[in-house]
Amino acid sequence: MKGRLTVTSPIEQVPKRLFIAGQWAEAASGATMPVEDPATGQVLCHVADAGPDDGRRAEEAAVAAQGEWARTAPRARSEILRRAYEIIIARTDELALLMTSEMGKSLAEARAEVAYAAEFFRWFSEEAVRIEGAYGTLPDGRNRMLLSRRPVGPCLLITPWNFPLAMGTRKIGPAIAAGCTMVLKPAPQTPLSSLALADILREAGLPDGVLNVVTTSRAGEVVEPLLRGGRIRKLSFTGSTQVGRTLLAQCADTVVRPSMELGGNAPFIVFDDADLDVAVDGAMVAKMRNMGEACTAANRFFVHSSVAGEFAARLADRMGSLVVGPGTEPGVDVGPLIDRAGRAKVAELVADAVERGAKVLVGGEIPDGPGCFYPPTVLTGVDPGSRLMSTEIFGPVAAVLTFDDEDEVVRAANDTEWGLVGYVFTRDLSRGLRVGERLEVGMVGLNTGLVSNPAAPFGGVKQSGLGREGGRVGIEEFLEYKYLAVPV
Ligand code: NAP
């Protein structure tokens, strides 16, 4: 009889070493680092902990593989991605369990992330064979222009812990499709999903050296020499705005091309004519996807004063009925936050809002016991000066404020240095489009709480980032133009 999946089985199967030039290798120093289960605080396993020498070895492997990889037939690159997509889908349950174990999200959410992550490989397998060039006559009538697209070269990819698989595939997919080699540095809290992904790509036929994975607890020491070394040609970073700024400065030295997916502070606007069923459903997704640990998470709820009471009561009812517990347990909706520091930050933001007069409709108390749990929480009467208005909450806390007119709410929504996503709920399409256009963000959900889709360009304006991932433009970040002038 087939055994029931256990928490340890997929973890045992994942290689725990660095992946360099197609080989699994210990860190040169022999160091390892623990991976913890945020639901229990227990150590699940140890993985190799790379130092700067390991980073350089990974870079060398990527540099050495670049020439031949760039010459590979686009169809061959496409088929590797397609095979990897099929393998990921076939292994949904074990990858989901692996992700839940190291990151905490419920198994249902982890399965949804596996599907989302795999889709980037399918999407970019289709884009790999559609990289186009051009031939044309220049205005003088004599010279011809031959325009082709070339891979930018060896890339450094840095990912956060909140979507351990999808943030990897969203970068690796277009890099493979474009013909770039790469070094991936995943977040130290969630290295296992990236190691599993490397193993899947190896199985799918990715040549040695094209993808190298360096797990480390010493990100700065490993990454900085690579960015300043002159051989890495592109950085694709997803993480906080603060770290993004540091890395942008490092990129400047050797003019490394950056793309940055940074933090957000999403406004969620509910007008008086909104369908409240739709708005509350949207709020549950925009707030509770990934326990609120998403750059796209609704951070500030602006609700028209005529419907704010009803909206908040209905949201509190739905939030309060969610089951909190270890993500691996059946029926659990809300897993633990990533670590104690993350939970302490959420608790401090709530305490600050309450001190400034906010009322707690539901949640707000850290439960006793192990694990980094925080209950779904709804606050009303939030003072606009509260710290959570200008800080990513990154937890399951909905802060509700009221407004009375459209100009006022657009001004308040735009009053932030971030501009990743905004959500607008109204039955009036003209108003929806008008407000959507006026919001200073890269993405808008109109009567929906979910914008992420591999076929759409994901990214922000202002200090939420540079460039886009996914969609037709996702591959552009990994391609250069090359122009040949030919007099005829
Ligand atoms: P983070 O602290 O910025 O870390 C992100 C990654 O950068 C991790 O792998 C981290 O490794 C690494 N890192 C940190 N300092 C570094 C340095 N000096 N040099 C090189 N690498 C360094 O962010 P996080 O807490 O993991 O993730 C949450 C943030 O990501 C939130 O702000 C969220 O909004 C953002 N995010 C954005 C998107 C988007 O698409 N816009 C998507 C998901 C998440 P270490 O932890 O070892 O330092």
Exposure on the CB side of residue 473, measured as CA atoms within 13 A: 9
Other C-beta atoms closer than 10 Å to the C-beta of 416 total: 21
320 lines ligand 1 (CB under 6 A): no
In this prediction, residue 5 carries a pLDDT of: 46
In the chain, the N- to C-terminal Cα span, in Å, equals 73
Task: Give the strand pairing for 421-425 and 266-270.
Answer: parallel
206 lines ligand 1 (CB under 6 A): no
Which of the four pLDDT bands, split at 50, 70 and 90, describes residue 332? very high
| Ligand 1 atom with minimal separation from the 161 CA | 26
Tens of pLDDT, residues 173-209: 999 999 999 999 999 999 999 999 999 999 999 999 9
Tens of pLDDT, residues 361-418: 999 999 999 999 999 999 999 999 999 999 999 999 999 999 999 999 999 999 999 9
| Closest residue by CA, ligand 1 atom 18 | 220
Cβ(338)–Cβ(162) below 8 Å: yes
The structure tokens 């990100």 sit at 219
Tens of pLDDT, residues 283-299: 999 999 999 999 999 99
Residue 27 pLDDT exceeds 50: yes
Q: For the whole prediction, is pTM greater than 0.75?
A: yes
219 lines ligand 1 (CB under 6 A): yes
In this prediction, residue 8 carries a pLDDT of: 53
Which of the four pLDDT bands, split at 50, 70 and 90, describes residue 9? confident
420 lines ligand 1 (CB under 6 A): yes
240 lines ligand 1 (CB under 6 A): yes
CA pair distance 232, 234, nearest whole angstrom: 6
CA pair distance 472, 258, nearest whole angstrom: 18
CA pair distance 299, 436, nearest whole angstrom: 17
pLDDT averaged over the chain? 97
CA pair distance 328, 7, nearest whole angstrom: 8
pLDDT, greater one: 103 or 2 = 103
Closest CA to 135 of 149, 150, 147, 151: 147
266 lines ligand 1 (CB under 6 A): no
Residue 2 pLDDT exceeds 50: no
Residue 282: partners with Cβ closer than 8 Å, 6 or more residues away: 268, 423, 425, 445, 447, 448, 449
Residue 1 pLDDT exceeds 90: no
The structure tokens 């290295």 sit at 191
| Closest residue by CA, ligand 1 atom 35 | 239
| Closest residue by CA, ligand 1 atom 48 | 219
| Ligand 1 atom with minimal separation from the 216 CA | 47
Token couple for 351: 């305490």
The structure tokens 């999808």 sit at 166
Distance (Å) from CA 408 to ligand 1 centroid: 33
Cβ(443)–Cβ(421) below 8 Å: yes
Q: What angle do CA 348, 336, 420 make, to 5 degrees?
A: 65
Tens of pLDDT, residues 418-472: 999 999 999 999 999 999 999 999 999 999 999 999 999 999 999 999 999 999 9
Cβ(165)–Cβ(94) below 8 Å: no
Q: What percent of the chain lies above the pLDDT cut of 90?
A: 98
Distance (Å) from CA 263 to ligand 1 centroid: 9
Tens of pLDDT, residues 234-270: 999 999 999 999 999 999 999 999 999 999 999 999 9
In this prediction, residue 204 carries a pLDDT of: 98
Residue 111 pLDDT exceeds 60: yes
Distance (Å) from CA 374 to ligand 1 centroid: 21
CA pair distance 485, 488, nearest whole angstrom: 10
Q: How many residues does the chain have?
A: 488
Strand partners, 59: none
Distance (Å) from CA 153 to ligand 1 centroid: 23
Catalytic residues: 261, 295
CA pair distance 22, 20, nearest whole angstrom: 5
Token couple for 431: 């108003």
| Strand ordering across the sheet containing 479-487 | 134-137, 143-151, 479-487
| Closest residue by CA, ligand 1 atom 11 | 187
